[in-house]
Amino acid sequence: MADPHDPLHHLQREVERMFLDLVYQRHPSCHFTEPTWSPAADVMVSEDSARVIMELAGVPRENVRVRLQGRILEVSGRRHSPKDPALSHYHRAEILFGDFRRVIELPWEADEKRVDARYQDGMLEIHLFPSPTHRTTRVTIEKVESK
């Protein structure tokens, strides 16, 4: 399991995010300028459900947007920086602020009528289910006689 604090892990997540942005071309004009940070996410998927948990500390619920289209789940929003002028000279600055956007591709088309999203204590949890038209079909492989 990758260490989430490893700089290479962070770089890999950013490259994956940019690749998905390029593939789905959601906002082609801002691939390398926005978003300014990418929240950590856990994605657990089975054949009959998916659960996405995203860490959004300091982001008010009204600043979070969740969008579902087929197999694509998009979570975006904004975390504002503190406006206290007395805190303008940082000794250390590690918290990122600004726009964020995560695009998660599911292995199946999701049922838009069966999505449950909850936000509590800076954690967003989304439960998704396959659409009723999604069916897993088992294919039987025929034995071919060799000559």
The mean of the pLDDT values for the chain is 82
Q: Which residue has the tokens 């962070």?
A: 10
pLDDT tens digit sequence for 78-132: 998 877 777 667 777 788 889 999 999 999 999 999 999 999 999 999 999 999 8
Per the CB < 8 A criterion, the answer to whether 50 and 44 are in contact is: yes
CATH architecture of 35-83+95-128: Sandwich (2.60)
Round to whole Å and give the CA distance between 59 and 56.
Answer: 6
